[in-house]
Amino acid sequence: MLQGDCFVAKNAPRNDGWSLMRLGNVEFFVVSDGVMKSDAGGVYGLVPKSLWENVTPADDQNRIPTHLNCLVIRSQGKTILIDTGLGSKLDARTEAFFGRAGGAQLLNELARSGIAPSEIDIVINTHLHLDHCGGNTLRANGNLAATFPRAEYWIQRLEWADAAFPNERTRATYLAENFIPLGEQTRLIEGDTRVTDEVRCLITRGHTRAHQSVLIESNGKKALFIGDIAGRAVYLERLAWIPAYDIEPLETLETKRRLRAWAVEENILLIFQHEYLLTMGYMRREGERWWVEKVE
Ligand SMILES: [Zn+2]
């Protein structure tokens, strides 16, 4: 049970963790595309191992678990999916590299929640790194097709351009197969963009130049699906903890500084995409100490 802002419905669609949540008139729930293993050097960048290993112990290959949380939102008659995980197109070697037990999970999790792919009206990609949009498309009869046949895919125009013209540093994560086959189903958006009266895309620059988070707002209450500007709670608690993946780390720093102050001020429910143990929480502050209080 949350603190009066949201509640967990009794007819929860999932029996293995997160449940249907309600914030004002909006319903939402987390679905996952599984848990992959990430090299801790990428996840923690310049942070010394002696500091981060107290937060997340690594395995014998220096990898740590990375959840692939996505979010389903129902707002004003629209069913919206934010991000699509790694997806099902990885070859066996790449799947082994990511160490995801059981392969793609997203469609199973949606099915378990009673949602068919054709019911998704809008897919929002926070950005086009392969662990956020791999499930945008799938391989069917040897061809690549949109996984969600009726959906419009909302992608920032600048992010799309950066992904379509990658450089030596970004080309391993920007894979054309995840967004080019969407063709006419692509909707390029520019800057902060309203999706419904209750859902908005907000630019949160740093991880990529046009990274976006998604704000849910109803009856004066707010929740934020943060995306990779702070995929883990510790990134907001300690501003200097910035992944090596970030394209503009100093922009990340300033974006996080603003985000966490706003989150405290407005008591925003934060939803973390890559967290292992803490999927949702509220930012708290006492003097110079900042922490995320977990929502059970
Ligand atoms: Zn990313």
Cα(109) to ligand 1 centroid in Å equals 22
Cα(126) to ligand 1 centroid in Å equals 8
Q: What is the 3-state secondary structure (H, E, C) of the chain?
A: CCCCCEEECCCCCCCCCCCCEEECCEEEEEEEEEEEEEEHHHHHCCCCHHHHCCCCCCCCCCEEEEEEEEEEEEECCEEEEECCCCCCCCCHHHHHHHCCCCCCCHHHHHHHCCCCHHHCCEEECCCCCHHHHHHHEEEECCEEEECCCCCEEEEEHHHHHHHHCCCCCCCCCCCHHHCHHHHHHEEEECCCEEEECCEEEEECCCCCCCCEEEEEEECCEEEEECHHHCCCHHHHHCCCCCCCCCCCHHHHHHHHHHHHHHHHHCCCEEECCCCCCCCEEEEEEECCEEEEEECC
Cα(145) to ligand 1 centroid in Å equals 23
Cα(140) to ligand 1 centroid in Å equals 26
Q: What local confidence, expressed as pLDDT, does residue 18 receive?
A: 53
Which residues have C-beta within 8 Å of that of residue 167, sequence separation ≥ 6?
Answer: none
Domains in the chain, ordered, with CATH? 6-294 (3.60.15.10)
Cα(227) to ligand 1 centroid in Å equals 8
Cα(231) to ligand 1 centroid in Å equals 9
Q: What local confidence, expressed as pLDDT, does residue 296 receive?
A: 75
Cα(209) to ligand 1 centroid in Å equals 11
pLDDT in single tens digits along all 296 residues of the chain: 444 444 444 334 444 445 788 999 999 999 999 999 999 999 999 999 999 999 899 999 999 999 999 999 999 999 999 999 999 999 999 999 999 988 999 999 999 989 999 999 999 999 999 999 999 999 999 899 999 999 999 999 999 999 999 999 999 999 999 999 999 999 999 999 999 999 999 999 999 999 999 999 999 999 999 999 999 999 999 999 999 999 999 999 999 999 999 999 999 999 999 987 788 999 999 999 999 999 87
- The number of residues in the chain equals 296
Cα(230) to ligand 1 centroid in Å equals 10
Candidates 76, 75, 52; CA nearest to 63 is: 52
Q: Are 64 and 53 in contact (CB under 8 A)?
A: no
Cα(16) to ligand 1 centroid in Å equals 26
Candidates 82, 104, 215; CA nearest to 153 is: 82
Which residues have C-beta within 8 Å of that of residue 201, sequence separation ≥ 6?
Answer: 124, 154, 156, 189, 192, 193, 194, 195, 212, 213, 214, 215
Candidates 2, 126, 24; CA nearest to 75 is: 24
Cα(139) to ligand 1 centroid in Å equals 23
Q: What local confidence, expressed as pLDDT, does residue 145 receive?
A: 97
Candidates 235, 280, 290, 224; CA nearest to 2 is: 280
d(CA 233, CA 236): 6
Cα(158) to ligand 1 centroid in Å equals 15
Cα(132) to ligand 1 centroid in Å equals 7
pTM for the model: 0.94
Q: What local confidence, expressed as pLDDT, does residue 20 receive?
A: 85
Cα(131) to ligand 1 centroid in Å equals 7
Give the CA radius of gyration of the chain.
Answer: 18
